[in-house]
A = this chain, B = another copy of it.
Amino acid sequence: MSHLYEPLTLDLDYCRQRQQRLLAVMERLDIQRAVLFQPEHVQYFTGFRPGGLLNAAVSLDADGHCLLVAPNNAPEHAAVDEVVTFEAQWHCTLRQDQREAIAAILRTAWSGRSAASRVGVEFANTGRHLDPLFADIAIVDLEPELWDLRRAKDPDELAMIRRAVACTEAMYARAREVIEPGVTEIEVYNQLHAAAVEVAGEPLTGFGNDFQCNSPGGPPRNRAAEAGELFVLDLGPGYRGYYADNCRSMRVGATINDEQQHAWQAIVDVLQMVEETVRPGLSAQKLFHRAQEMLDEYRTGAFFHHLGHGIGLFPHEGPHLNPHWEDTFAVGDVFTAEPGLYGPELRAGIRLEENYVVTETGVERLTGYPLEL
């Protein structure tokens, strides 16, 4: 099977808009420079995605000058004003000191520009190798601001997520073909992987979540499915760094029992409630509690996880549809809703999960595969 899709990249104009938003944050925090090493952030702000084991950095100055330190070769597609490359490999072998090499380049590049007294960084990605860069400079953790910026997806990001969603739709279609009594979870996993790669047209950048049968979730096992059980296929493929995350539950064999039908309807009702209720300004925590109440009517304790979460360059972003966070829906949020019910009578549970983008007036659903068991 050949894939029907052209490869996607982030749009350079949108990358520049994202840089502008970061510059506004920097001005507010009185930061004259930001330097980011996390590959997701390099990609987000420049459009260039460093390969898995190659390091890169982006440095953005208050005057708008954007410098990319790129491994090996300058990328053709990047929203930057300056690129400096370093040798991430010597004779094809990965160097173990890529960060130090980048730091040396940054130090030289910065010496030709206005000095910064306060620099924004990702605390988690600012290892001690980088200490020499920050002598006599105050560093400020930008991670909370970056998570916040990343919530509202631009159209180029949405296109990437839609491609990942298209992967999941091909996976469900394949699952319908191959699920029958006797099939192992490993066989289903391999089939679904192949279906997703065919749509992506290239290896995926993530391939996670749940592939078990007769279980609420977990990685695929070498276990054969039995008639009457349900597969919970919670699929999180990543396309060039952007994740989808949605779920269907599929019957093994021809029949479903009354409890399964009853639980399925309760879950579908929650999804409908979500679609009718979410709009900018709504409390995601309140939405969680409303769903919990509805699902408790099936049986208290049968729903025991979050209602959903944002998705993007990380599988779990804001907004959190979860009692432990106090997030509010905002325009541009891309989130999942994943009500579920579990119990032995359901062999062993049903979860249905849709992906949405928050619009000015409500939500647009990104997922379209039928919900039926």
**A17 CB within 8 Å of chain B:** no
| Least Cβ–Cβ distance between A247 and chain B, in angstroms | 13
A139 within 8 A of B: yes
Distance A323 CA – B93 CA, assembled complex (angstroms) = 10
**Contact at A91–B222, with CB atoms within 8 Å?**
no
Residue A283 is within 8 A (CB to CB) of chain B in the complex = no
Chain A: residues with Cβ within 8 Å of the partner, total of 52
- A93 contact from B190, B191, B194, B322, Cβ within 8 A: B322
A324 proximity list for chain B (CB < 8 A): 90-91, 93
Which of A189, A203, A220 is packed against the most chain B CB atoms within 10 Å? A203
State whether the Cβ of A277 lies closer than 8 Å to any Cβ in chain B.
no
Render A308-327 as a binary contact track against B, CB cut-off 8 A, 1 for contact.
Answer: 01000001100010111100
- Chain A residues 122 to 156 lying within 8 A of chain B, measured CB to CB, are 122-129, 139, 141, 143, 147
- Asked if A93 contacts B306 (CB within 8 A), the reply is yes
B190–A186 CB distance below 8 A: no
Smallest CB separation, A351 vs chain B (Å): 11
Residue A368 is within 8 A (CB to CB) of chain B in the complex: no
From B53, B124, B189, B201, A99 is in contact (CB under 8 Å) with: B124
Q: Which of B92, B203, B306, B322 contacts A220 (CB under 8 A)?
A: B203
Any chain B CB within 8 A of the CB of A371?
Answer: no
Is A94 interfacial (CB-CB < 8 Å)?
yes
A253: Cβ under 8 A from any B Cβ: no
Binary flags per residue of A321-339, CB closer than 8 Å to B gives 1, else 0: 0111100000000000000
Structural contact, A306 and B91, CB atoms closer than 8 A? yes
Contact A92 B129 (CB under 8 A): no
- CB-CB < 8 A to A193: which residues of B? 190, 193-194, 197
Q: A138 to chain B: closest CB distance in Å? A: 11
Task: Tell whether A198 is near chain B: CB-to-CB under 8 Å.
Answer: yes
Q: Is A262 located at the chain interface by the 8 A CB criterion? A: no
Q: Is the CB–CB distance between B184 and A305 below 8 Å?
A: no
Please name all residues of chain B whose beta carbon is closer than 8 Å to the beta carbon of A93 when the two chains form the complex.
306, 309, 316, 320, 322, 324-325
**Taking the complex as formed, is A2 at the interface, i.e. its CB lies under 8 A from any CB of chain B?**
yes
A94 to B208 CA separation, bound complex (whole angstroms): 14
Check B129 against A127 for contact (C-beta < 8 Å): no
A93-127, CB < 8 A from B:
93-94, 96, 99, 121-127
Q: Is A299 an interface residue (CB 8 A)?
A: no
CB-contact partner of A322 in B91, B123, B184, B207, under 8 A: B91
- Which among B2, B190, B208, B306 is the interface contact of A198 at CB below 8 angstroms? B190
Given contacts A190-B194, A320-B93, whether A53 and B129 have CB atoms under 8 Å apart is no
Q: Which residue of B lies closest to A3 (CB)?
A: B222
Q: Which residue of B lies closest to A323 (CB)?
A: B91
The 5 A-B pairs at the shortest CB distance, nearest first, are namely A190-B194, A90-B324, A123-B128, A92-B305, A124-B127
Can you name 16 A-B residue pairings with CB atoms under 8 Å?
Answer: A2-B184, A91-B306, A91-B324, A92-B306, A93-B322, A96-B147, A122-B127, A123-B128, A125-B127, A129-B141, A186-B198, A186-B202, A190-B197, A190-B198, A194-B194, A203-B207
Known contacts A96-B147, A99-B124, then 18 further A-B pairs from the complex at CB < 8 Å, ordered by chain A residue: A2-B184, A52-B208, A91-B306, A92-B306, A93-B316, A93-B320, A93-B325, A125-B127, A126-B128, A127-B127, A128-B139, A129-B141, A190-B194, A190-B197, A201-B222, A202-B219, A202-B220, A203-B220
